[in-house]
Amino acid sequence: MTRETTRVAIIGAGPAGLLLGWALRRAGIDAVIVENRSVEYILARVRAGVLEQGSVDTLKRLGVGDGVATNGLIHDGIYLQFAGERHHVDFNELIGRTVTVYGQQAVVADLIDAHKHDGSPIYFESSDVAVHDIESPSPRVTFGHRGEEHDLHADFVVGADGFHGVCRPSIPSSALTAYERSYPYAWLGILATVPPSTDELIYCLHEDGFAMHSMRSMEVSRLYLQVDPSESIENWSDERIWDALHTRLGVPGWTLHEGEITEKSITPMRSFVTSTLNCGSLFLAGDAGHIVPPTGAKGLNSAIADVTILADALIDHYADDDVALRRYSDVALGRQWRIQQFSQWMTQMLHRHPGGSADHEFDYRSQLGQLDYTTSSTHAMRSLAEQYTGLPL
Ligand code: FAD
Ligand code: DHB
């Protein structure tokens, strides 16, 4: 058994864990990151793509913003499409804020690169990761790595291990309540090697269901289709996917360009929030504590927001000020519930609710009314702009 000590043991090398480890390292606070997947797996994982202005500012402030500054695509707004018409919502004109399209994969690659040069140690491909003694001031993490058993002692453990990680379940059930809801739809997402057919993201409600056109670069497009959660990706040939995208996204005088599909997968949609992000010496950050349906592009941004708050709180703690650390859970969850509300609103407005009943038809027409209002009232557009580009930290 190899015994080690550090200040902060971080479980998970997703965006939350990597950014926290980096922010602490820059402040001279020792941290160790323990991850159960390989670096190759993590770098290949395709997920979110839109960064709020505040997330970009955080990456730049922490010295890991060169990639996003060079390769990020700044978007002034989005298109909302419904009833066969496309409407532009110009955030920059409305409130002077923008978003940046830059893939989560690229954020993670930049962070891993930074850690390699001058960062926290990362144990990739760890096995049997477990946290112990979280209700004491000396918690531990045990794990296997390259045939060795490790016993990592720390002042704090941070669970940045995503929704399916081990940290949240290690909190006694009496100390935590889960608030959640699932949705009767899922997203089929593709990456295609073709220049985007649009300058900004298109979110579309069509009678057949939601569709979206996003991008990763001027050479790679990212597109999504609402599908039934029970759908299997094997039932969706490339041809069927493009057909559905043409039907849902098509408007007169506009062409959707097809390209080689290099990745396709189906993601279920869920809203989930824990009642606390702190139990004793354990703190949760990112998807470990909350998840949103992807429609508002908030998952990655929420992980970055949590970590920004938690890193500052831990830095204060080591400067003998514990106020922010004690308030971390309340502050981060307060912000998170506003984000939950926005993500749920975007999701319900833009997806076709399954059914065939009179309610179902009523819902669809009511959603069209909601979209009509949202794209014609300056107040409604400002509210959307404010929330989409990101609430202040
Ligand atoms: P994660 O990125 O999940 O990182 C957690 C890390 O912990 C992972 O590296 C994992 O391997 C590791 N881990 C897990 N268990 C253990 C363990 N026992 N021991 C050690 N390490 C462990 N959001 C959007 O806004 N838009 C999208 O389009 C979008 N698409 C998504 C698609 C998918 C398939 C998923 C799952 C999520 C998607 N999200 C999207 C959400 C967004 O990607 C997440 O909110 C974001 O990844 C959260 O970052 P995180 O660091 O908290 O968690
Ligand atoms: C992307 C994902 C989202 O969930 C979203 O709302 C916008 C863009 C993307 O993957 O590019």
48 C-beta closer than 6 A to ligand 2: yes
Residue 203 falls in the annotated catalytic set:
yes
pLDDT surpassing 90 at residue 275: yes
| Catalytic residue flag (residue 213) | no
CA of 265, nearest ligand number? 1
Whether pLDDT at 358 is above 80: no
pLDDT at 141: 98
pLDDT one-digit tens code per residue, 149-194: 999 999 999 999 999 999 999 999 999 999 999 999 999 999 999 9
Q: Is the CB of 49 under 6 A from ligand 2?
A: yes
92 Cα–ligand 1 center, Å: 29
Given this model, what pLDDT does residue 177 score?
Answer: 97
pLDDT classification of 25: cutoffs 50, 70, 90 = very high
Q: Is the pLDDT of residue 356 over 80?
A: no
Catalytic site residue 41?
no
Question: What average pLDDT does the segment 275-291 reach?
Answer: 98
pLDDT of 67 reads: 97
pLDDT at residue 357 above 80? no
Calculate how far, in angstroms, residue 366's C-alpha sits from the geometric centre of ligand 1. Answer: 33
Tell me the CA–centroid distance for residue 187 and ligand 2, in Å. 11
Q: Is 111 left (phi over 0), alpha (psi -120 to 50) or beta?
A: alpha
Q: How confident is the model at residue 240, as a pLDDT?
A: 98
Position 349 scores a pLDDT of: 98
Look at residue 138 in the predicted model and tell me its pLDDT. Answer: 96
How far is it, in rounded angstroms, from Cα 68 to Cα 174?
Answer: 42
**CA distances for 132 relative to 139, 151, 156, 329, angstroms:** 6, 10, 11, 20
What does the pLDDT read at residue 392? 80
- Decide: 288 and 279 in contact? Cβ < 8 Å: no
pLDDT confidence band for 393 (50 / 70 / 90): confident
Regarding the beta carbon of 160 and ligand 1, being less than 6 Å apart is answered yes
pLDDT of residue 391: 87
Provide the token pair at 13. 């090398």
Which residue is closest in CA terms to ligand 1's atom 46?
A: 300
Active site residue 294: yes
pLDDT at residue number 295: 97
The band of 359, judged by pLDDT with boundaries at 50, 70 and 90, is: confident
Span 322-329, mean pLDDT?
98
Asked if residue 191 has its Cβ within 6 Å of ligand 2, the reply is no
pTM: 0.96
- Residues 188-235: pLDDT tens digits? 999 999 999 999 999 999 999 999 999 999 999 999 999 999 999 999
Taking alpha carbons only, the member of 280, 290, 268, 11 closest to residue 152 is 11
The neighbour count for residue 179, using CB atoms within 10 Å, is 12
Collapsed DSSP state (helix, strand, coil) of residue 252: coil
Q: Does the CB atom of residue 166 touch ligand 1 within 6 A?
A: yes
CA of 365 to the centre of ligand 2 (A): 25
50 in contact with ligand 2, CB cutoff 6 A: yes
Q: Does the CB atom of residue 300 touch ligand 1 within 6 A?
A: yes
Catalytic residue check, 354: no
d(CA 61, CA 103): 19
In whole angstroms, what is the distance from residue 180 CA to residue 159 CA?
A: 19
What value does the mean pLDDT of the chain take? 96
pLDDT given for residue 355 in this prediction: 78
| Whether residue 384 has pLDDT greater than 80 | yes
Q: What is the number of the ligand 2 atom nearest to the C-alpha of 104?
A: 10
Per-residue pLDDT for 354 more than 90? no
Distance 161 CA to ligand 1 centre (A): 8
Q: Mean pLDDT across the stretch 338-350?
A: 97
pLDDT digits (tens, 9 = 90+) for 114-152: 999 989 999 999 999 999 999 999 999 999 999 999 999
